[in-house]
Amino acid sequence: MKLNTKSRYAVMALADMAVFSSDNAVSLRDISLRQGISILYLEQIFLRLKKNNIVKSVRGINGGYILVKSPKELKISDILLALDQKVKTIGCKKDSKKSCNGKSTKCITHNFWDELDIHINSFFENKKLSDLLKNREVRI
């Protein structure tokens, strides 16, 4: 069970923005250099972040991206959701009548996975971007 790199990089890039935020927009080029993530890949990620209203963009020279909410208000779950990464450890379709093994009743483990999903998602719900920046070592 692993989160994909898109999600991990998204959180990393936004954390970077939170640290290096100023009145100006932060360019992907800067994030790329500081965090070691390909610009081309960041572009793809920020496209989604923008569509989901996590960041807004400023075009042209000296352009870049700006966080829509403050880091204190931005939930990690919002970020993951923007990248279609809502945790789903359950095997069946939540709304579907069918169980994960093709039977008509929910399987023997269904409730367990359901609990797990809630457990994990509540973690993401309760974490704010600003929480990542506490106690961190000073960096370049």
Partner DNA sequence: ATATACCCGACTAAAATAGTCAAGTTTTTG
Partner DNA sequence: CAAAAACTTGACTATTTTAGTCGGGTATAT
Which chain residues interact with a copy of itself by CB under 8 A? 1-5, 7-8, 11-12, 15-16, 19, 35-37, 76, 85, 87-89, 91, 100-103, 105-109, 111-113, 116, 119-120, 123, 127, 131-133, 135-137, 139
Burial 42-74 (b: 16+ CB within 10 A, else e): beebbebbeeeebbeeeeeeeebbbbeeebeeb
Q: Give the separation between CA 76 and CA 41, rounded to whole angstroms.
A: 20
Instruction: Return the residue of 46, 54, 79, 129 that touches DNA, per CB under 7 A.
Output: 46
Alpha-helical (H) ranges within 52-132 are 76-82, 110-126
In the list ligand FES, a copy of itself, DNA, none, the entry touching 116 (Cβ below 5 to 8 angstroms by class) is a copy of itself
Q: Under rule CB under 7 A, how many of the chain's residues touch DNA?
A: 28
Q: Facing residues of 128 across strands?
A: 75
Instruction: Return the residue of 58, 68, 107, 120 that touches ligand FES, per CB under 6 A.
Output: 107
Question: Please, how many CA atoms are within 13 Å of residue 125, restricted to the half-sphere of its CB?
Answer: 8
Q: Look at the block and give the residue holding tokens 């920020």.
A: 46
Could you say whether residue 14 binds ligand FES (CB under 6 A)?
no
DSSP state of 75: B
Stretch that binds DNA, among 56-64, 74-82, 106-114, 123-131 (CB under 7 A): 56-64
Q: Give the separation between CA 1 and CA 13, rounded to whole angstroms.
A: 22
Residues 37-96 that bind ligand FES (CB under 6 A): 90-92
Interacting residue ranges for DNA, rule: CB under 7 A: 2, 4-6, 9, 25-29, 38, 40-41, 43-44, 46-47, 50-51, 57-65
